[in-house]
Chain A
Amino acid sequence: MNLLIKPFKIKQKSVIPGFGITMGFSLTYLTLLVLIPVSMVFLNSAKIGPAEFWEIASSERVLASLKISFSTSFLAAVINVIFGLLLAWVLERYTFWGKKLIDGLIDLPFALPTAVAGISLTTLYSQNGWIGKLLAPLGIKVSYTPIGIVVALVFIGFPFVVRTVQPVLESIDLEVEEAAACLGATRFQTFYRVILPELLPALITGFALAFSRALGEYGSVVFISGNMPMKTEITPLLIRTKLEQYDYAGGTAVAAVMLIISFILLLLINIFQWWASNRHKVS
């Protein structure tokens, strides 16, 4: 707690009131709802001692599941950045029929319960599903393979990229682009040299959001992944499996590993964002 009080004094003077009360409320609420519950994971995994903790965390199955979770989440986030940027671009820059509808529906993956998403994606992409049927002759299997996991993760993650990129794209003046074009830049150059640098922080944020959301995703993935140990078993499922076996120590240990990773990841994003916006201000 002392650590947290320190910044109060270091806080720069401001005419704006309400720091004490808003900060106080926020910290209390965060402590009660996030810090204490989350610390339970560490408290419980501390019970088993570092040696055993390490043994659990570095066991083959846990490592395999982490590898699957990370690689599929990363791939999904990359796809989301590409298509999210494309969607945002199209929505902001072009006019076409049905644009409003698309814009309005982008948030659907946020709103749709993950279990529903999982069930309907599995139905669609399994060998006898609407899309799976078309892919089967090409020898592409989606449901019950890592590709299926990626599909589910793309689905739940792409609004993040669209929604972080869109406002920035909106705020970039068309005139800047026009100026670049006037100066003789090709369209690609304009995009690459003028727009992309502006968008980069938003893209990275969107990527990171999609990535970290994908890492923890459970509801939609369990239906489509096939859950094969070492092959398509994601880490959250492994935690659940351990709990189902009454292995609370093991489950919380893996949960702790995931928590640390998420925390570091998020911290990096936030520092990066802060750095990007500061750099922006200076320039």
Chain B
Amino acid sequence: MAGSIPIQIKTAKTTPAERRAVKGSKIVPVILTAIAILFFILMLIVPLISVFAKAFEQGANLYFASITDPIAWKAIKLTLITIAITVPINTVFGLTAAWAIAKFKFKGKNVLITFIDLPFSISPVVAGLIFVLLFSTSHGLLAPLLNAWGLKIIFAPPGIILATLFVTLPFVAREIIPLMEAQGTTEEEAALTLGASGWKTFWLVTLPNIKWALLYGIMLTAARSAGEFGAVSVVSGHIRGLTNTVPLHVEILYNEYKFSAAFAVASLLTLIALINLIVKNVAHWKIKQQSKI
């Protein structure tokens, strides 16, 4: 790449005005910003508003009635349990996998990363299907075992958690691997040569460096755990108050012609997503402040 940037050199007269040209004249940024904001509003803000508009279409009373409904609460509880289990497990996995991949050189790394990525590009339908093929009590691979022990995996909370674990597996790893790779190993090596233990090095050197990316990964994992629909819908069995997560409850309400209620519960998910985003942004901002000092 070196030397591959043959910039045509005019007889250089670099006035301060021209230097500012990098930041641009007034018109181009304005146009670009306008297009970007327009796209953003059309693609994101309008759908977002429409969720809340629909939710409150029939008044605030109905809104609060639908989100305090006991069956809605059971769905919320199941979703929270799912998040509480998937996030820590996949965070630990993400950290260990990233450590192995980013800090060492070995053959087959690309294949390994690809396997980590796989759940991300697999269709949620297929993600659900594979657990059915594994745990179906009639023709699943583990059917004899499940029947012998009287275990139920799919159509019960464990199946929902497994599917969610699968779907959210790549997020933490994927967020921190590139960063850890970019940061290289020099800092860790220095710490180690100075006599720090491996753990200490990880805690004091690596972790502070990847904090933000890690948080972002965790946020994505939590968000996806809360919102996963396709895969969970295949393994859930849709039993009211037992195996319905919040997104499935939304679908049910929608199918019962309770559109406002459906959007009310959906807005709850949206709110969770927004809070998630706020937390992440505050953290991001704080870290930036720290690094400035």
Contacts and interface: CB of A to CB of B under 8 A. Distances in A.
A7 interface: yes
A21 B277 CA distance: 33
- Report whether over half of chain B's contact residues are helix, strand or loop; otherwise say mixed: helix
A181 B122 contact: no
Interface of A: 3-4, 6-8, 10-12, 14-19, 21-23, 25-26, 29-30, 33-38, 40-41, 43-44, 83, 86-87, 89-91, 93-94, 96, 98, 100, 102-117, 119-121, 123-124, 130-131, 154-155, 158, 174, 177-178, 180-185, 187, 189-190, 193-194, 197, 209, 212-213, 215-219, 235-237, 239-240, 243, 248, 251-252, 255, 258-259, 262-263, 265-267, 269-271, 274, 277, 279-280, 283
Interface residues of B, number: 115
Contacts, number: 336
Given A34-B166, A41-B126, A255-B129, A116 B96 contact: no
Given A15-B192, A183-B7, A283 B123 contact: no
- Report whether over half of chain A's contact residues are helix, strand or loop; otherwise say mixed: helix
B40 to A, nearest CB: 6
A68 to B, nearest CB: 14
Nearest to A36: B134
Contacts of A19: 100, 103-104
22 contacts: A11-B107, A15-B193, A33-B162, A33-B165, A40-B130, A41-B133, A43-B133, A89-B36, A104-B277, A105-B48, A105-B277, A111-B220, A111-B276, A113-B228, A120-B263, A124-B50, A184-B10, A185-B8, A236-B126, A251-B129, A263-B118, A270-B113
A28 to B, nearest CB: 10
Interface of B: 1-2, 4-12, 14, 18-19, 21-24, 28-29, 32-33, 35-37, 39-40, 42-48, 50-51, 54, 93, 96-97, 99-101, 103-126, 129-131, 133-134, 139, 141, 162, 165-166, 169, 181-182, 185, 188-189, 192-193, 198, 201-202, 219-220, 223-224, 226-230, 246-247, 250-251, 254, 262-263, 266, 269-270, 272-274, 276-278, 280-281
